[in-house]
Structure 1
């Protein structure tokens, strides 16, 4: 009976708390996403387009990307097919959308990580947001140097083509999204948390530490508990890595700083998997395969480099 009580206190209670927090965070995030809360920020596109010597269609795509990646990529693809955009301009326009593409998923990322990790979630989301902003700013600076100046176009005209979403419609859409995502949340979270708990109490992480010291010198700044988060980031969805991070954080096996660094490393190392598992199939629906591959590679390489930059800065500042 004592063993059952210990198991419930050590595994059952934290797991129930974790699932409740993840579910609430996911539902709230879906509501916010469905309300298109970032739409007003899109009006910043006009001066940014002028700064980066981009065409008005790039600014319109940037605006649409705040609430619809489908509309954004479709607009770029149609403009490229008509010859309104050169291949180089298409590349810059696509990279320009890094920030709005990130902001579209920011509510889900933040509320899911905040309800589980607390302060480390603020740091992690802030760093990845800074990386996304860095990519957009770098694109503008390179565009200003590599593209000729263009006359001002009408960027905000495209916004009028997309009406506001009513509150009732947003709630219905959010509930549909929640019901679709919730089973996947359970599928990854429960077994991941159980495995991490068992590794913690059976000394599995201690064995991993010995192996890590001998074979993975370049990740020597990460402890084995953190390495588990990285591996799950590579092998599964972000929710699995998040579950692992919650488990080791609750047991005190890792500090908040180590949690953030592990999530950043996993984010970078999962770049190839993310590119070919998620982004390439989507881009192949808009562009020819060779062009889609080039766009995906440019996006993911720039993404990985930007996260490495903010990660190194955080590592040095927080040391």
Structure 2
């Protein structure tokens, strides 16, 4: 009976939730498009797209990412399959969505961190937001260097292609996408998610986590007491790490600066596990598995690098 509960709570229930949100988010995105919510964002994105030598579909996906990163990635995947986006342009466009994708999770994550850590949590959230903005801005800079200029497009026009005229059309179009994408979600995402669960249950992740825990000696710049926050960030989910940080902060023995640095360090070191556990199953349902892995590796490496960059600036600014 206990095993059945573990399988239900650890695999079946979260897998059903993942498949549900992967599918229904497209319907929600189309309905929001019917209300013209993203057109204002599209007007802001248009000059950034031109500056970074990105195509208009990248700007449209950027606008959609404020609503649903799944819908944005679906738009990019369809454009890549049609030959409208090269592999390099797809990578740049995917990273370009870092800032809006962060905003999707900001309300829930921000409320949790600030409610537990107060002003210290606000500093941490601000630094991770700055890292997301840095990634988006880096695409504009490197896109201008490495991508050829493209003819001036129309970001809002590309959104018009995804904007149904009526509510009925929005539902119909979403159902069509549901039927087209559902086989990939079932045939790829489900097996990948199951493999992740089995690895976790069999101790595969625990081996990697113990290795990472035993090799944190390079974090000499942190107070020893804060290593528990780093280890919890690596070995568990985000909430236990925040709870441990809150306990250390409430004890009054650790300075607020050390708490922020420990959370940033844990954020970086937990990147590989978090990406494989949570991001790969979702990406594999949208992109081809090999391309999904390619995008995740590049995205997460830049993500870790941007957090390290803002962390180093914070470290020296608060000496």
* TM-score, scaled relative to structure 1: 0.70
Report the 3-state secondary structure (helix = DSSP H, G, I; strand = E; otherwise coil) of the residue aligned with 2:293: helix
The residue that corresponds to 2:157 in the other structure is 157
The residue that corresponds to 1:113 in the other structure is 113
Q: Is the 8 A contact 1:43 1:63 kept in 2?
A: no
Distance 1:57 1:215 in 2: 43
The answer to whether the aligner puts 1:84 opposite 2:84 as a matched pair is: yes
Distance 2:312 2:277 in 1: 27
Deviation at 1:69, TM superposition (A): 1.1
Deviation at 1:129, TM superposition (A): 0.8
Deviation at 1:225, TM superposition (A): 2.3
Write out aligned runs for 1:22-37 (5 A). Answer: none
Deviation at 1:42, TM superposition (A): 4.5
Q: Is the 8 A contact 1:42 1:66 kept in 2?
A: no
Report the 3-state secondary structure (helix = DSSP H, G, I; strand = E; otherwise coil) of the residue aligned with 1:219: coil
Deviation at 1:224, TM superposition (A): 2.7
Distance 2:109 2:288 in 1: 31
Deviation at 1:157, TM superposition (A): 3.2
The residue that corresponds to 2:274 in the other structure is 274
Deviation at 1:145, TM superposition (A): 0.8
Distance 2:42 2:249 in 1: 37
Distance 1:41 1:238 in 2: 30
Deviation at 1:64, TM superposition (A): 0.3
Length, aligned pairs only: 236
Alignment deviations for residues 225-273 of structure 1 (CA, whole Å, 9 cap, x no partner): 2100001101111111011111111111311111100000000000101
Write out aligned runs for 1:54-203 (5 A). Answer: 54-159=54-159, 161=162
Q: Is the 8 A contact 2:42 2:155 kept in 1?
A: no
Deviation at 1:279, TM superposition (A): 1.0
Distance 1:272 1:215 in 2: 15
Deviation at 1:65, TM superposition (A): 0.3
Deviation at 1:120, TM superposition (A): 0.7
Alignment deviations for residues 21-67 of structure 1 (CA, whole Å, 9 cap, x no partner): xxxxxxxxxxxxx9x8x954453111110000001111111000001
The residue that corresponds to 1:20 in the other structure is none
The residue that corresponds to 1:299 in the other structure is 299
Distance 2:119 2:267 in 1: 18
Distance 2:107 2:42 in 1: 17
Distance 1:58 1:123 in 2: 31
Distance 1:50 1:103 in 2: 23
Q: Is the 8 A contact 1:261 1:315 kept in 2?
A: yes
Report the 3-state secondary structure (helix = DSSP H, G, I; strand = E; otherwise coil) of the residue aligned with 1:218: coil
Unpaired stretches in structure 1, ≥5 consecutive residues: 1-33, 164-211
Q: CA RMSD in A?
A: 2.2
Q: Is the 8 A contact 1:80 1:90 kept in 2?
A: yes
Distance 1:239 1:162 in 2: 37
Deviation at 1:282, TM superposition (A): 0.8
* Alpha-carbon distance change, 219 to 147 in structure 1, aligned in 2, over 3 angstroms: same
